[in-house]
Chain A
Amino acid sequence: AQKVTQAQTEISVVEKEDVTLDCVYETRDTTYYLFWYKQPPSGELVFLIRRNSFDEQNEISGRYSWNFQKSTSSFNFTITASQVVDSAVYFCALSEGPSGSARQLTFGSGTQLTVLP
């Protein structure tokens, strides 16, 4: 069975600091997809990234970057030069299978990030 662990329940940083959110997953499948979602105080989840198990290249999008390491079953998310607007709950998720189906999507318990001015 698939499992996603986000051990950091809450993180507080001061604006402009870098912060890394950890995500460790478990799966027996060789083909799977990993995701990150952001849930701001307004409530709706916002999709950030999808990565398949065959693509271990790190990805950078503006101040966001993701480090995928199959050897440690981790898919960590780093925000560089954090801003107050980054304050949110961040969810890591895993979907087994070749299509990354939402029906098989398992979410971690989330990390509450607070960026202080």
Chain B
Amino acid sequence: SQTIHQWPATLVQPVGSPLSLECTVEGTSNPNLYWYRQAAGRGLQLLFYSVGIGQISSEVPQNLSASRPQDRQFILSSKKLLLSDSGFYLCAWNRGRFTGELFFGEGSRLTVL
């Protein structure tokens, strides 16, 4: 069966520090991968998606970046965090057509102080 894992689960970082959130999918190959952010009291906002190794599409301009160094690994990064980067980050995957049926990880809660 397929599983998706994110880490770390929680992270407290000072403003201006770097960020690295990792997401790994197991039990499938060539998944479409997504990074979402969930701000408090709001819905989910798509940040990045990837259809393959090294292929990243950005949906929202910001100081975050994403990379896909391996087929089932998706990384969300920042060189310098802002206060506004605080939130709950969710990784998700699906296969085949870009259907809206997504499988989500457990999320990573980031607090920027």
**How many CB-defined contacts (below 8 Å) exist between A and B?**
73
The yes or no answer to A45 lying at the interface (CB within 8 A) is yes
Interface centre among A9, A43, A99, A100 (most CB of B within 10 A): A43
Contact of B43 among A42, A103, A109 (CB under 8 A): A109
The yes or no answer to A44 lying at the interface (CB within 8 A) is yes
**What B residues does A46 contact at CB under 8 A?**
104
**What B residues does A99 contact at CB under 8 A?**
97-99
The yes or no answer to B75 lying at the interface (CB within 8 A) is no
Contact of A101 among B92, B100, B107 (CB under 8 A): B100
A105–B42 alpha-carbon span in the complex (Å): 14
User: Which residues of A approach B to under 8 Å, CB–CB?
Assistant: 4, 9, 33, 35, 42-47, 50, 91, 93, 95, 99-103, 105-110
